[in-house]
C-alpha cells in the first residue's frame, strides 16, 4: 500500500484557525488559563487604544519558559490532547495560545523568562507567512521592530511571561473607535469576573487579575450565604464518576434583593440567560447557564422566567474532558448519557423550588386550601380540562368582610370581581415581562407607607371585626402574610379604630 504525505498549507490553515469563534473575552480567558497552569498569582491585561496601532498585552508572574519550552508552546498542536495532564492543568489541545491569539490579531509575540534566566522571545506574524524562502511555518525570534518596549517589563521580573497581540484586525475594524474600546474592556471585565470568580474570591484568592490597572472583582452566580435564598443544597457526588460534584442553588426573588444586588445577581447575560447548570473544570467556568439538553418528554427545557432563579454548580475534573466533549474554545460541555438521570433529578429539584419562589410573588394559593399561619391569599388558581384560570378568593378575609357588609350592592361587587378575573391582561403581562426581563412590580414595591397602611388597616379591621380575632392575633397573622410581612413596623402600629 502506497502512502502519501499531505501536510497542510501553512497560510490556509492559519487563516482557517482564525474562524473558530472566539470573542475577545473568551480569547483572553484562554491566555489566563495558561497563566494559571504556570502557577501565576497575578495576571495584568492591558488594552491600548492607538487606532490601527492598538495592542493588547497580558503579563503574568508565572514560572516562565526557557527557549526550548517556548518554542514547543508556540508550535500548533504542541501536546497530545489524549495525554494525561496534571490535575490543575487548564489546557488540553495545545492550541489555545495560538488559536485564541490569531482569532483577534495577526501578530502574536510571546516573551518569557524562567528563574532569572535570559528573556526569550518568539513571534508569529500571519502577514509574513509564505514570504520567507524555504520556511513554510516561519517562527521569528524577538519582537517586531518598534515593539521592543512592549515586552520591556519582563526585564525587571525574575520570572514570568508576556503575550502581546498586535495588528488587531478582528478587533479594530472599520468604524471602531476609542469609545468602542472602553465598552469592549467592560465586556471583557464582566466575562473574566464570571469565568474566574472562584480563583478571585476569598480573603486570600488564588489569583489577582488586573484589567487596565483595575482589579477585577469576582462575580458570584449563587449569592452564597444570602439569607433570602430558597435553596443551597449540600454538595452531591455524582455516582459512577471520579470527582464530579453538583450543588443546587435557588436565588432569592428580586423583591428580596436590594437594587444593587438585583443588577449584580442578574449576571452578564441577564436573568433568563444565566439560569441552569454552571459547568466548571478545575474551578474554571466553562459554561454559564444551560440545561445541558435535559428536559421532559423528549423536549429539552428552555430558559424561561419561571425558572430563572435556579442555578446549579457542576464540577468536573480535566480527566473527564473526553466524556464531557469539551471543545477547543472551552465553551461547550455535554454530560455522558449514563449521568443524565442523576443530573435531571438535581435540576428538577432546583427548577421546582425556583418556580415556587417565582410564583410566590403573586401570592397564589391552591383553591382548596389556606395557610393557618397567615391570611389566605387573594388569588386562587384553578385547573381543569378547559385550562388554567385565576380567581379572586371570595373567602379572603377582606373580600368576605366587604361582601358581608355590601347589602344591596353585593351583586354589583361580585360582578366587578368577575370582570377583573376575566380581563386580567395575561398576555400583556407576559409580553412586558419578556421584553423588560423582569416581572412587573407588585407587593407594594416602592409604595409609600401611607398607601400600604390604607390596605393594611382595612385588612386589620376585617380580621378583628368580621373574623373575631383579637388585635394581637390579627397583628400576628398579618405579620406572617405577604406582602405585609415586609412592613412589620406598620403592622405593629395597627390599632382598632374607634367607631363611635
- The angle, 0 to 180 degrees and rounded to 10, between the axes of the packed helices 24-37 and 178-195 is 50
The H or E element spanning position 445 is: none
Say if residue 134's pLDDT is above 60.
yes
Q: What is the pLDDT of residues 294-333, one digit of tens each?
A: 999 889 999 888 899 999 999 998 888 788 887 666 667 7
The CA-CA-CA angle for residues 461, 465, 470, to 5°, reads 90
CA–CA gap between residue 347 and residue 311 (Å, rounded): 9
Confidence of residue 243 (pLDDT cuts 50, 70, 90): confident
Question: CA nearest 315: which of 339, 349, 345?
Answer: 339
Choose between 7 and 402: higher pLDDT.
402
Lowest-pLDDT choice from 155-159, 182-186, 189-193, 389-393: 389-393
The reported pTM is 0.75
**Residue 78 predicted with pLDDT over 80:** no
Burial (0-12, 13-18, 19+ Cβ within 10 Å), 133: exposed
pLDDT for the residue numbered 84 = 52
Torsion sign, CA atoms 441, 442, 445, 447: positive
Contact 379, 395 (CB under 8 A): no
Q: What is the DSSP string of 118-140?
A: --EEEEEEGGGTT-STT-SS--E
Domains and CATH numbers, the chain: 12-215 (3.30.565.10), 231-360 (no CATH), 366-492 (no CATH)
Amino acid at each position: 500500500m502506497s502512502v502519501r504525505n499531505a501536510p497542510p498549507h501553512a497560510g490556509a490553515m492559519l487563516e482557517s484557525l482564525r474562524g473558530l469563534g472566539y470573542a475577545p473575552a473568551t480569547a483572553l480567558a484562554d491566555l489566563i488559563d495558561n497563566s494559571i497552569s504556570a502557577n501565576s498569582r497575578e495576571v495584568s491585561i492591558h488594552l491600548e487604544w492607538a487606532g490601527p496601532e492598538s495592542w493588547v498585552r497580558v503579563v503574568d508572574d508565572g514560572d516562565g519558559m526557557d527557549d526550548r519550552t517556548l518554542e514547543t508552546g508556540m508550535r500548533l498542536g504542541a501536546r497530545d490532547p489524549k495525554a494525561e495532564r496534571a490535575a490543575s492543568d487548564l489546557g488540553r489541545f495545545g492550541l489555545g495560545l495560538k488559536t485564541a491569539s490569531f482569532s483577534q490579531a495577526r501578530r502574536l509575540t510571546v516573551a518569557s523568562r524562567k528563574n532569572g534566566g535570559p528573556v526569550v522571545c518568539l513571534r508569529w506574524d500571519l502577514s509574513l507567512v509564505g514570504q520567507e524562502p524555504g520556511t513554510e511555518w516561519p517562527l521569528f525570534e524577538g519582537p517586531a521592530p518598534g515593539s521592543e518596549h512592549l515586552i520591556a517589563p519582563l526585564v525587571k521580573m525574575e520570572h514570568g511571561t508576556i503575550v502581546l497581540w498586535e495588528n488587531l484586525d478582528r478587533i479594530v475594524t472599520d468604524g471602531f473607535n476609542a469609545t468602542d474600546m472602553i465598552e469592549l474592556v467592560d465586556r471583557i471585565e464582566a466575562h473574566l469576573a464570571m469565568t474566574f470568580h472562584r480563583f478571585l474570591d476569598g480573603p486570600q484568592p488564588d489569583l489577582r487579575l488586573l484589567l487596565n490597572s483595575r482589579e477585577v472583582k469576582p462575580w458570584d452566580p449563587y449569592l452564597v450565604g444570602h439569607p433570602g435564598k430558597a435553596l443551597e443544597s449540600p454538595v452531591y457526588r455524582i455516582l459512577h464518576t471520579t470527582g464530579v460534584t453538583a450543588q443546587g442553588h435557588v436565588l432569592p426573588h428580586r423583591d428580596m434583593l436590594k437594587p444593587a444586588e438585583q443588577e449584580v445577581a442578574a449576571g452578564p447575560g441577564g436573568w433568563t440567560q444565566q439560569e441552569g447548570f454552571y459547568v466548571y473544570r478545575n474551578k474554571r467556568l466553562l459554561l454559564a447557564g444551560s440545561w445541558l439538553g435535559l428536559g421532559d418528554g423528549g423536549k429539552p427545557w428552555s430558559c424561561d422566567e419561571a425558572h430563572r432563579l435556579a442555578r446549579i454548580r457542576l464540577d468536573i475534573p480535566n480527566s473527564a474532558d473526553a466524556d464531557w466533549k469539551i471543545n477547543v474554545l472551552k465553551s461547550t460541555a455535554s454530560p455522558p448519557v449514563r449521568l443524565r438521570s442523576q443530573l435531571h433529578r438535581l435540576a428538577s429539584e432546583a427548577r421546582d423550588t425556583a418556580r415556587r419562589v417565582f410564583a410566590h410573588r403573586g401570592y397564589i394559593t391552591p383553591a382548596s386550601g389556606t395557610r393557618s399561619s397567615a391570611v389566605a391569599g387573594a388569588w386562587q388558581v384553578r385547573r381543569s380540562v378547559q385550562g388554567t384560570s385565576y380567581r379572586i378568593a371570595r373567602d379572603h378575609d377582606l373580600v368576605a368582610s366587604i361582601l358581608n357588609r355590601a347589602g344591596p350592592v353585593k351583586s354589583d361587587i361580585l360582578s366587578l370581581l368577575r370582570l377583573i378575573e376575566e380581563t386580567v391582561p395575561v398576555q400583556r403581562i407576559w409580553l412586558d415581562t419578556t421584553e423588560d426581563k423582569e416581572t412587573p412590580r407588585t407587593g407594594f414595591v416602592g409604595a409609600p407607607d401611607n398607601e400600604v397602611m390604607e390596605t393594611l388597616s382595612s385588612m386589620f379591621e376585617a380580621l378583628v371585626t368580621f373574623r373575631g380575632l383579637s388585635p394581637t392575633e390579627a397583628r400576628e397573622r398579618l405579620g406572617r402574610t405577604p406582602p405585609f410581612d415586609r412592613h412589620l413596623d406598620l403592622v405593629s402600629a395597627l390599632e382598632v379604630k374607634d367607631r363611635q
